[in-house]
Structure formats: structure tokens, C-alpha cells
Amino acid sequence: MNEQKDEKWLDELISRSIDTSEPRFDAEQWKQKYPGEFQALVARGARRSQVGRFGLLSIVMRSQIAQVAAAAIVIIAVGLFIPHLERGGHQQDPSQQWEKSPAEMVSAMSLRTAYNRGGMEALEEQCDRAARILGQGALSMADLFEDLNG
Amino acid sequence: MAQEPDSALVEAAAKGDGDSFTELCRRYYPAMVAIAHSMLGDRHLAEDVAQQAFASAAVKLPQLRQKAQFAGWLAAICRNEARDMMRRTRAVQSIDDHSATTESNEHVVCESVRAALNKLSASAREVIFLRFYDGMSYEQISAVLGISEQAINGRLRRAKKKLAEYLRRDGYDEVRL
């Protein structure tokens, strides 16, 4: 026998020796056999239509790495924000004060903040600054009250 | 749906489209049965394993990141399921005999071929089963094995040469591949 004939003969032998007829997939039978798995697949579609951004977030947060990363971000953000809060609560940035207009500097809220910060001395100082900006000389509290009372 | 490319079906199935998933099952059922059959040697067990592989795939589909590799991924699941089945049943004695009812010369020859097939490496046996199972294209075999059609031909040729060698040792001198 030549090689081609041998190969054909071998092919036929293989085909005869093993059952190589085409298997047919019966989808309905499979669904009945594995209802849980099929429902898990289909339910994914139903869930997907319900979940929005928060659903996506909850899926992402299932990952342990994502949880650790989120915790780290929160800690860093708090760490950066606390000093800023402390600065804002107890002392104002002097440069910010100079940026205020004279009217703002003598408003009730500004004066109260200055009083809280340094008592009457700070109050006087703030009034002086407002006066300097307006081009007037030093302005005492007595002058201010006199002017207000007429 | 029968004309849809695999990638579109996999995308849809991953989003929960049951029809797309069952269409993928229909397409790859012969390949999965062939793979399991090559490992287990039993056609009926192979069909059970292929169906079990689809059930596992239905659950694990969201974990598949590269949708284009669905066929190879499914084949890997099928091989794992077949190994589990082997452990459970210890059924890998020999490739099943679907002509065992007759004690003819034909039966003896087929028995020799099955014995020779059992001696082949798992990958060589797998490519033979994939190639000889009906209803499978080279394109599908290529997708399942993750190799080119040319590489399939090469692997198939080497497997058949080895098979012929085993048959010659068994007294079939006429097989010269």
C-alpha cells in the first residue's frame, strides 16, 4: 500500500473504532438539568438592568483590593483636610484679611471674628486696617461709635 | 442568531442573554464532547461532562476577561470537568467500544485502534478526536485549541504517524505513514 492509501485506511479505521457521530445539543434538556446555573446566567441580565452607578460601585467594592484602596483614599483625604480645618477654625490667614474690602472688614461678622480672635485689640486693629485702606488716619472705636450714633 | 459571530454571542451571554449562551453551547457541543471523549474513552460520560462544563461556564462567564478566547476557556473547563469525572468514576480503562456486539475480525481491528489511541499523548488523542468528530470545522478546532489551522494539520499528522507506529508494533505491517 502507498502512503495515501494507508492514511485513508487509517482514517476509516479511526472513524469505525470510535463513535464520532455528531452530538446534538438539546438546550431545553440542558436547562432542565442545570436550572440553577441557567438562572444564575439569566438573572445577571435582570440585575444589570436594575443596578445603576451604586450597583456598579457595590460590584467594584466586592474586591478586597478596591476596599483597601478606598479606605486609603479616605484616610489620606481626612489627613489633608484636618490641618485645613484647624487653620480655618482658630486663625485666619492674614493675607486673606487684606484681600477683604473695607466694608467687609467692618461688617458685624468680621468684627465678631476679630473680637473672638484677639479681643478688643484685634477689633481695633481691624478697624485701623479698614481705615488705612479708605485713606483715613487711625480710627478708634470711640470715633466709630460716635459716627454710628450720630 | 446562528449567523452571529462568537464574540457577539459571548458579550450578550455575559450580560445575561440565555439564548446567546445556548447558541454557543450548540456550536461547541461537538468539540467539548470530543475533548471529554478523548480523555474518558466513553461517549455517554463525555456528553455528561460537556453539559457540566457548560453549566460551570454559565456561572463563571463574568470572570472571562477576554471574550475572544471563549472557546479555549470553555475547553479548559471541559478538561477540568473530565479530570473530575475520571477521579469519580475511574473510567479511563479504554476507549469505548460501540461495535462490541460482534466478535468479528472488524471488532478485533477496532479494538487494536482503540488500544493504540489510548497509548497516544493526551494532546495527540485530543486532536484526533476533534478532527474525526462530525460537525466540526477547522476554524472551531483552531479556536478550541488556540492554534492555527496549519499547526492543527501538523499536530494531526504527527498523531496519526504515532498511531500507525503503534498499530505496526501490534502486527499491522501494512500501515506505513
Number of domains in chain A: 2
SS3 A135: coil
- Which sequence spans correspond to the domains of chain B? 1-93, 103-177
For A75-91, give one letter per residue: b (16+ CB within 10 A) or e.
eeeeeeeeeeeeeeeee
* Lowest-confidence pick of A115-129, A136-150, B32-46: A136-150
Say if residue B99's pLDDT is above 90: no
Mean pLDDT within A8-28: 89
* Multiple choice CATH, B103-177, 3.40.1440.60, 2.30.40.10, 1.10.10.10, 1.20.1730.10: 1.10.10.10
* Lowest-confidence pick of A27-41, A90-104, B37-51: A90-104
Mean pLDDT within B137-146: 90
- At residue A35, the pLDDT reads 95
Residue A70 and residue A135 in one domain: no
The answer to whether the CB of B41 falls within 8 A of the CB of B91 is yes
Chain A residue numbers touching B128 (CB-CB < 8 A) = 14
Residue A52 and residue A91 in one domain: yes
From the list A3, A10, A20, which residue is nearest B163 (CB)?
A: A10
Highest mean pLDDT among A58-62, A132-136, A140-144, B46-50: B46-50
The verdict on a CB contact (< 8 Å) between A16 and B177 is no
For B76-89, the pLDDT digits (tens) are 999 999 999 998 88
Q: Chain B 53-92, CB below 8 Å of chain A: which residues? A: 54-56, 58-59, 61-62
Mutate one of B1, B60, B81, B98 to test the A interface: name it (highest A CB count within 10 A).
Answer: B98
Residue A34 and residue A88 in one domain: yes
For B91-115, give one letter per residue: b (16+ CB within 10 A) or e.
bbeebbbeeeeeeeeeeebbbbbbe
Task: Please give the CATH number for the structural domain made up of B1-93.
Answer: 1.10.1740.10
The residue among B170, B64, B154 whose CA lies nearest residue B112 is B170
Tell me how crowded residue B155 is: count the other CB atoms within 10 A of its CB. Answer: 20
Say if residue A98's pLDDT is above 60: no
The verdict on a CB contact (< 8 Å) between B25 and A25 is yes
How many helices and strands, by DSSP H and E, does chain B display? 8, 0
pTM assigned to the model: 0.64
Question: How much is the mean pLDDT over chain A?
Answer: 74
Question: Last residue of some domain: A58, A78, A97?
Answer: A97
- At residue A122, the pLDDT reads 82
Question: Last residue of some domain: A77, A97, A117?
Answer: A97
- At residue B130, the pLDDT reads 95
Chain A residue numbers touching B96 (CB-CB < 8 A) = 18-19
Give the dihedral sign, CA A78/A79/A81/A85: positive
Say if residue A137's pLDDT is above 70: no
Burial of B161 (0-12, 13-18, 19+ CB in 10 A): middle
Residue A13 and residue A80 in one domain: yes
Residue A37 and residue A107 in one domain: no
**Predicted complex ipTM:** 0.82
Residue A33 and residue A48 in one domain: yes
Host domain of residue A10: 3-97
For B4-55, the pLDDT digits (tens) are 889 999 999 999 999 999 999 999 999 999 999 999 999 999 999 999 999 9
